[in-house]
Amino acid sequence: MPESYWGRIVYILQQYGPSFLKGAGVSMWLALVGTLFGCIIGFVVGIIQTIPEGRNDSLGKRVLIRIIKFIMACYVEFFRGTPMMAQAMFIYFGSSYLFNINMSMWFAAILIVSINTGAYMAETVRGGILSVDPGQTEGAKAIGMTHVQTMTNVILPQALRNIMPQIGNNLIINIKDTCVLSIIGTVELFYTTKGVAGALYTYFEAFTIAMIIYFIMTFTCSRLLRLLEKKMDGPDNYDLATADTLTHTSGMYSYKERKVK
């Protein structure tokens, strides 16, 4: 074992480099899959929470909507108000003890990340929908669109752009928070780092490598998401499209110069 600090880091990378890469790959995979399913859950819950209650709706429909909204609100508040580590322990071990459900470690890991992300995304989606100008909804209803058509064709495309930064933020958080899944035996980057540090008694050096790997993953994802946001913004300069054959895309007709006699 080298005596210098950087020498020990190089030695650890030579001996356990593939293990660190495998753990990083597991962390990234769990974060991506969990964020994807979490976004789907968040969109469903967020849309349900913004369903309007019309005066012409029947009493039964209004009661049903309020019950569903209450259940969704309980789900959001519970999973936002408890740590993911406690959720992992409760879902993985508690489901077997209380309900005799023996789920696999990988299924439990994806489920935990997904429902935790879904709770945060639900509030993000709800805020994104409410941030769209109410005139957009009124205009859509004025031309005969149903609520579903209004949401899918008018509101959600605008809300999606508004919540893109938060989706990226949740992905970055999930890359780091997958470390809590080591408590149920998931062999991700943090779990691998603990094993290497315990085998060589080089905790400082091993976790230095882990922090650098985490930073590389989060920084790369944040840059890629920034590029996606710019892509969704479209070009800064554009010409107006027009069907008038007498005008150009700039909206002005160009007359030929007349000669002055």
End-to-end CA distance of the chain: 97
- Residue 207 CA to residue 192 CA, distance in Å, equals 10
User: Is 247 a residue whose pLDDT tops 50?
Assistant: no
- Residue 32 CA to residue 233 CA, distance in Å, equals 23
**Which of 167, 224, 211 is CA-nearest to residue 31?**
167
Is the CB of residue 203 less than 8 Å from the CB of residue 41? no
What is the tens place of the pLDDT at every residue in 104-150? 889 999 999 999 999 999 988 888 888 888 788 788 888 888 777 88
What fold characterizes domain 5-233? Answer: MetI-like fold (1.10.3720)
What is the tens place of the pLDDT at every residue in 59-95? 888 888 889 989 999 999 999 999 999 999 999 988 8
**Which of 2, 12, 4 is CA-nearest to residue 208?**
12
User: Is 24 a residue whose pLDDT tops 90?
Assistant: yes
